[in-house]
Structure 1
Amino acid sequence: MPKNLFPLDNTKKFTDQKIVGHNRWHPDIPAAVNVKPGDVFRADCREWFDGAIKNDDSADDVRNAPLPGVHVLSGPFHVEGAEPGDLLIVDILEIDACDQEDEGPLSGMGWGYTGVFAKTNGGGFLTDRFPDAYKVIWDFTGDVATSRHIPECSYVGIHHPGLMGTAPSAELLAKWTKRETDLIATDPERVPPLALPPLPDSAILGTLSGGEFDRVAGEAARTAPPRENGGNQDIKNFTAGTRVFYPVFVDGAKLSFGDLHFSQGDGEITFCGAIEMGGFMDLHVDLIKGGMETYGVYENAIFMPGLRDPQYSEWIAFSGVSVELESGKQHYLDSQLSYERACHHAIDYLMKFGYSDIQAYMILGSAPIEGRLSGVVDIPNSCATVYIPRRIFDFDVAPSSRKPHQVTQGTQVPKSAN
C-alpha cells in the first residue's frame, strides 16, 4: 500500500487533523505536503461537508447545509521542481470509500448520500421543479449502491474525485474575481446567486493565521465552480486509471483534491447529485517541463479516462430540444436548455413506473447516466440526450404492450421545505 501522506482521523473534524487542508483557492495557501516527480502516495479525503450530513430520514441537514465551508480539500501538495508553464501529470491509481470501514457516522463509512439543495441555498439543475431540499441515503455493498428511499434500483459505483486542481497564480485569481463579480452585478438580487464571491466566513487555509489569514480569506476564490485550474469539474470518468495533465501556474503546482463520489451521472444535475462519500485516493505525479507551451494547454486540464467504468451496455435514452418547458418559448441552439428538457422527459417517463418525481430526479443525478450534446448546428433547436442504463432497475424499463411495472414504495425521500 502506498504511504498515506495526508491521513485523516475519522473521530475528528477536518480542522482538528494533524495536517489541515483548505477550502479556498489562493496561491499563498502554504503547501501541506511535499512530493517528488515519480512519487506514488495515498491521501485520505473527507466528504465535502465534513460530516454535516447524517444517515437518517430527515433532509433538514441538507436544507441547512453549510455551503460557505465547502469543499474540504486534501492538500496543497507541493511537487518538487514544478514551475509555471509546466504540465503536472496526475495518475489516479485507486479510489475507494473509507479504508476498512464497514459503518460509521461519516459518509463513506459504508454509506453515502445524494441531496437536492433548496432554491434559496443554491438549488439544482431543475430548481424550479424541485425548489425544496431532499436527501437520499445509499448503502454500499462492495461496489454496489442501494437505497431505502428509492426502491427496485441499484447500480455499480463509478468512483471519482469531483474536485481536483492546481493553485491559481495571483493574476489568474484576480481574473476570476473580476469576471465573477461583474456577472453578479448584472443581477445582484438573484436567487440563487449568479456566482459566489470571496467569503472569509468559514474559510480554511491550512497553516495560515493572523493577518495573513485575514488577507488571503478576503481574496481567495470559492471552490464551487470549475475554472482554468481544474477545480470542481465533477467529471464522472475520472476513475482509477485516469491520467490528467494540469497546467501549472505557481511554483510547486500546489495540487489539491477531494469531493469524492461513489457514483454520479453526467452533469450531477441535482447539484449535490452524486453519491457523496469520504475515502482515499492513490496517486502518482510527474512533470512535463514546459508542457503548457509544447502542447498548447494554457488553461483547463486534458485527461485520458480510466477503464473502471461500470459495464452497462443496454440503455434507454431521452431527447430534448431548446424550447422552454412551460412557456414554449423558442431559444437559439441552447444546449443546456435541451439537456434540461431531456431530463424532464426522463423523469416523466420513470414516474409511469411508480417512482415519484424526486426519486426519478435523484436517479438521474447519482446513477451513471450519460449526457450527450447530440446536435448543435441545426437552427434553431439544439438536441441533447440522456442515456439511462436499463440494468440498474430490477425490472424491464423499456416500453412494451404491457402496462408499466409499478415499484413497491417503502421509505419516502426525506423533504425539508423552505
Structure 2
Amino acid sequence: MCSNCDYTIHGRHFHYGWNRDNPPAERVAPSSTVFFECHDSSGGQLTAGSTLADVSSLDFGKINPVTGPIFVEGAKPGDALKVTIEEFKPSGFGWTANIPGFGLLADQFKEPALQLWTYDPATMQPAAFGSHGKVPLKPFAGTIGCAPAEPGQHSIVPPRRVGGNLDIRDLSAGTVLYLPVEVAGGLFSVGDTHAAQGDGEVCGTAIESPMNVVLKLDLVKDARLKTPRFTTPGPVTRHLDAKGYEVTTGIGADLMEGARAAVADMIELLAARYNIAPVDAYMLVSTCGDLRISEIVDMPNWVVSFYFPRCVFE
C-alpha cells in the first residue's frame, strides 16, 4: 500500500474497454496522489504455473484490463490531464508469449510459445533468460489513458488520441505524461504493466507483469492537446547502453517492411550465435530490442534499424 497516497484503487475496480459511460471508481481532486493495483495484460490468465496450452486458450475478451476509471474534479473537454508517474511496485513475476496471429512477424511464427520470468522486485536486477542471458528491467504501464468522447464501448487494444495502449517504454518512474481530456472528469485508467519492453514490442508482448503504480493526477486547463505528450526526467536507455548494441537494418520504400526485415535479421543473428530457437529470440528481442527510424528523407528508400543490447549476453 501507499501511506502517502490520497486514494487507493483496488484491483477489483477494472474494466476491459474504453467507455465514457463507465461509472468512476473514485472521484478525486486535482493534485491527488493515487495508488493503483494493476493487472497484467492477460488479466491473470497466465501465471507462474502456465503452459503453452494456456497461451492457446487465452480469452481475448479479457485482455488488457485497466484499473479505474478516475473522475478528476474540474476536468473538462479541452483540458489536459497531467499524470506524474511517481513509483512502480513490481510483483517479481512476468511472462512473454508468442500469440498466434499477433505480432510484427505473425506470418513467420505461427505456433504459441511462452517464456516465464522471475525477478527480484526489491533490487530489480536483470531477469534471467535461459542459462546465460539477462534482460535489464524498466517498469512502466503499457496502457494509460482517458475515455474517448465517442459513445459506446471501444476496444482497449489500439492506442488512441486520448492515450490507451501506448506501450511506450519511457512512461516510467519520473516521467510526466499529458493526456487530452474529451469527457467530463477525464475518466482516467491504467494497467497492462510491464517489467521490461523494447521499443516496438515486436512479438506483441513484453515482460508482462502485474504491479502496483503510484500516480499524481493534476489538470492543465484549456491545453488543447491533439495527442499525448510526455517529458522524461533524464536519459532513457541507461539500463541498456553499457556494452553497446548489435544492429540490423531494413532498407526500402516501405517502413513496415523495413521494420520486419530488421527484426527478422536480428532473430537470425541471435539464434545462430547463441544457439537458441528462433521463436525464443523473437520473444527476447521484444523485451529489450529497439526499433528506430534511422532515415526517412532519402527517397525512395528509408532505413529502419533494430538495436539489440549486447549487455543481455555479455
TM over 0.5: yes
Matched, 1:315 2:245: yes
**Residue identity opposite 1:319 in structure 2:** T
Q: CA deviation at 1:247?
A: 0.6
Write the distance in 2 (CA, Å) between the matches of 1:375 and 1:130. Answer: 28
Matched, 1:143 2:124: yes
- Pick the structure with greater CA Rg: 1
Write the distance in 1 (CA, Å) between the matches of 2:24 and 2:260. Answer: 40
Matched, 1:5 2:8: yes
The answer (yes or no) to whether the contact 2:83–2:217 under 8 Å persists in 1 is yes
Matched, 1:280 2:201: no
Write the distance in 1 (CA, Å) between the matches of 2:15 and 2:51. Answer: 29
Helix, strand or coil for the counterpart of 1:62? Answer: helix
Helix, strand or coil for the counterpart of 2:14? Answer: coil
Q: CA deviation at 1:50?
A: 2.0
Q: CA deviation at 1:310?
A: 4.1
Instruction: Report the counterpart of residue 97 of structure 2 in structure 1.
Output: 115
Instruction: Report the counterpart of residue 231 of structure 1 in structure 2.
Output: 164
Instruction: Report the counterpart of residue 134 of structure 2 in structure 1.
Output: 154
Helix, strand or coil for the counterpart of 2:257? Answer: helix
The answer (yes or no) to whether the contact 2:56–2:112 under 8 Å persists in 1 is yes
**Residue identity opposite 2:198 in structure 1:** G
The answer (yes or no) to whether the contact 1:93–1:282 under 8 Å persists in 2 is yes
Q: Could you give the per-residue CA deviations for residues 179-206 of structure 1, whole angstroms, max 9, x where no partner exists?
A: xxxxxxxxxxxxxxxxxxxxxxxxxxxx
Which of 68, 88, 94 is the aligned partner of 1:75?
68
Q: Could you give the per-residue CA deviations for residues 361-417 of structure 1, whole angstroms, max 9, x where no partner exists?
A: 1111112x2221011122332110011111111x4xxxxxxxxxxxxxxxxxxxxxx
Write the distance in 2 (CA, Å) between the matches of 1:62 and 1:274. Answer: 14
Flag structure 1 segments of 5+ consecutive residues without an equivalent: 9-16, 99-109, 174-218, 323-332, 396-418
Q: CA deviation at 1:305?
A: 2.4
TM-score (norm 2): 0.92
**Residue identity opposite 1:157 in structure 2:** L
Q: 43-52 or 225-234, which moves further after superposition?
A: 43-52
The answer (yes or no) to whether the contact 1:139–1:145 under 8 Å persists in 2 is no
Count of residue pairs the alignment pairs up: 305
Matched, 1:361 2:276: no
Helix, strand or coil for the counterpart of 1:364? Answer: helix
RMSD, matched Cα: 1.6
The answer (yes or no) to whether the contact 1:136–1:147 under 8 Å persists in 2 is no
Which of 305, 308, 311 is the aligned partner of 2:232?
305
Helix, strand or coil for the counterpart of 1:346? Answer: helix
Matched, 1:347 2:275: no
Q: 1:91 to 1:162 in 2, by over 3 A?
A: same
Q: CA deviation at 1:146?
A: 3.1
Helix, strand or coil for the counterpart of 1:151? Answer: coil
Helix, strand or coil for the counterpart of 2:21? Answer: coil
Instruction: Using the aligned pairs only, state the percent identity.
Output: 28
Pick the structure with more strand per residue: 2
Matched, 1:50 2:32: no
Write the distance in 2 (CA, Å) between the matches of 1:155 and 1:96. Answer: 18
Write the distance in 2 (CA, Å) between the matches of 1:146 and 1:64. Answer: 26
Q: CA deviation at 1:49?
A: 1.8
The answer (yes or no) to whether the contact 2:26–2:70 under 8 Å persists in 1 is yes
Instruction: Report the counterpart of residue 203 of structure 2 in structure 1.
Output: 270
